Amino acid sequence: MHQSLFAVFLVVLFAVAAPAAALDSKGIYQLNQDRVVQVRVLNRETGKKSSIGSGFIVGDGRQLATNYHVISQIVLEPELFYISYISNDGTEGELTLEALDVAHDLALLGAEQSLGDAIQMSPLPPRGAPIFAMGNPLDLGLSIAVGTNGGILNQTDDSRILFSGSLNPGMSGGPTFNELGEAIGINVATARNDISFIVPSRFLTELIERSATESYTDNVDLKAEVARQVIAYEDRYIEQLLAGDWQELNLRQFQLPGVISPTVRCWDNSAKLNAVARYKRYQIRCANQNHVYLDANNHFVGRLSYEYYWLESDELNPIQFYNLYESLNKDQIETKPGREIASNFNCETWFIEVSMQEMKSNLCRREYLDYPGMSDVLFTAALTGHADRGFFITLIMTGVDFDSTLPLIQKFLEETEWTP
């Protein structure tokens, strides 16, 4: 009797402790083919597709997860478009928008009835582990792409996973699985052959939880909601920049802010020197990778870039050098392309003192026409009072609250030092 009970105990213990068997791509596909759908934005008047992507069943079984950029036309023109799905077996239905996470390019959609069993979420597997992306590439039907987990990219604010597989148009919004068939992320973008990006599933889990209490109603102002989310995200980003440790770089007679965040990269863009040139130009450009998709017209915000220029000449006389210097400095404002969704730049000019050097500064702002509170900010400062050398800074931030950028500009100036 005791031996029989002990044998039963071992069987139960082994069943509980034994890990689930890993699946190959065929097993992943078979397990999830009925839970991954095509998401479509259709024109109400023609019934034709305007954009397509993928989605998958989550939450309570009547919800679908996808990318915000797949359904963003709903934000721009809700009266003209609507969202629908078509499953692998041909079942179709209309969907409503329930929640957005614009910063991480996520959207949560809802159907009137259950769509099936929800896909379970899971944390990211170890770096180098196989992962599997499912979706509807190029409107050709459900497919699966195999690759490896390249890890979280810190230059994208922990919001992207590097995937060695190839994501094609139409796969955006589909799930990426581990070997157990659990979703570890959401397909979002591709850069080039076999370089793609995944949004970690934790952001989707947070969105699903938030939707339980903050689901949208029919009369919600979606553009205002998009603006609110973008501004909140950019405010947090600026706070992180202000609190972080800034590296320094040297450019001729200035010590300057260099890499101010893991999200920022800096490059040397100095002009090649040759015998014909009568002046020397040194240039360093730094920029982040935190670009946030804004709307269906392929507008992106979240850009932070700053450039430093140093000019010097032993051959130009003071008038020639001044004319050259003034034209290059003026170009920093006038050559910035306009945006049809924003007003023109409105600028104010001051003379300021930076590290005991006089500089002419311009602070410019343009406001987004349909996204309340959002602005692009351009700041320039140019060294004055030198006959044979010049220096200027250009700082650009897009999709931000204007007032939130002022402490960052102030810190840039405080960290700029003249070294005689």
Cβ contacts of 320 within 8 Å, gap of 6 or more: none
The closest alpha carbon to 59, from 179, 167, 204, belongs to: 204
Task: Report the DSSP pairing between strands 304-312 and 299-301.
Answer: unpaired
More confident residue, 295 or 144: 144
Average pLDDT over residues 124-151: 92
Is the pLDDT score of 95 beyond 70? yes
User: What pLDDT shows up at residue 139?
Assistant: 86
Select the more confidently predicted residue: 405 or 160: 405
Place of tokens 């009925």: 34
One-letter identity of residue 163: F
- Other CB atoms within a 10 A radius of the CB of residue 47 amount to 9
Residue 333's pLDDT band, with cuts at 50, 70 and 90, is: low
pLDDT in tens, 268-327: 988 766 556 788 889 999 999 878 999 877 789 999 999 999 988 888 888 888 888 877
The share of the chain scoring above pLDDT 70, in percent, equals 90
CA nearest neighbour of 349 among 382, 321, 323: 382
pLDDT higher than threshold 90 for residue 40: yes
pLDDT at 363: 96
What pLDDT is stored for residue 159 in this prediction?
78
pLDDT at 7 over 70: no
Collapsed DSSP state (helix, strand, coil) of residue 109: strand
Lowest mean pLDDT among 18-27, 39-48, 124-133, 145-154: 18-27
Residue 91 pLDDT = 93
* Burial state string for 372-385 with b = 16 or more CB within 10 A and e = fewer than 16: eebbbbbbbbbbee
d(CA 290, CA 9): 54
What's the pLDDT tens digit per position in 22-38? 888 999 999 999 999 99
- How far lies 335's CA from each of 148, 268, 294, 328, 330, in Å? 42, 21, 23, 10, 8
What is the spatial distance between Cα 292 and Cα 398, in angstroms, rounded to a whole number?
10
pLDDT given for residue 190 in this prediction: 80
Phi, psi of 240 (to 5 degrees): -65, -40
pLDDT of amino acid 158? 64
User: Which of 8-12, 42-46, 271-275, 290-294 shows the lowest mean pLDDT across its residues?
Assistant: 8-12
Q: What is the pLDDT of residue 339?
A: 61
Q: What is the pTM of this model?
A: 0.88
Of 363, 336, 365, the C-alpha closest to 350 is 363
* Whole-angstrom distance, CA of residue 267 vs CA of residue 286: 6
**The pLDDT value given to residue 338:** 56
Q: Is the pLDDT of residue 12 over 90?
A: no
pLDDT of residue 335: 45
What are the tens digits of pLDDT across the range 335-348?
A: 454 567 888 899 99
Q: pLDDT grade, residue 246 (50/70/90)? A: very high
- What mean pLDDT is reported for the chain? 88
- Tens digits of per-residue pLDDT, 171-219? 999 999 999 999 999 999 887 667 888 999 999 999 999 998 887 877 7
* DSSP-based three-state secondary structure for 337: coil
Share of the chain above pLDDT 90, in %: 65
Domains defined for the chain, CATH in brackets? 23-220 (2.40.10.120), 228-418 (2.60.120.1690)
pLDDT at 372: 94
Flag whether pLDDT at 8 surpasses 70: no
Which secondary structure element, helix H or strand E, spans residue 81, and what is its range? strand 81-86
CA distance 29 to 177: 10
Terminal Cα distance for the chain, rounded = 93
Q: Which residues, including other chains, have CB under 8 Å from residue 6's CB and lie 6 or more apart?
A: none
Measure the CA–CA gap between 87 and 84, rounded to whole angstroms: 10
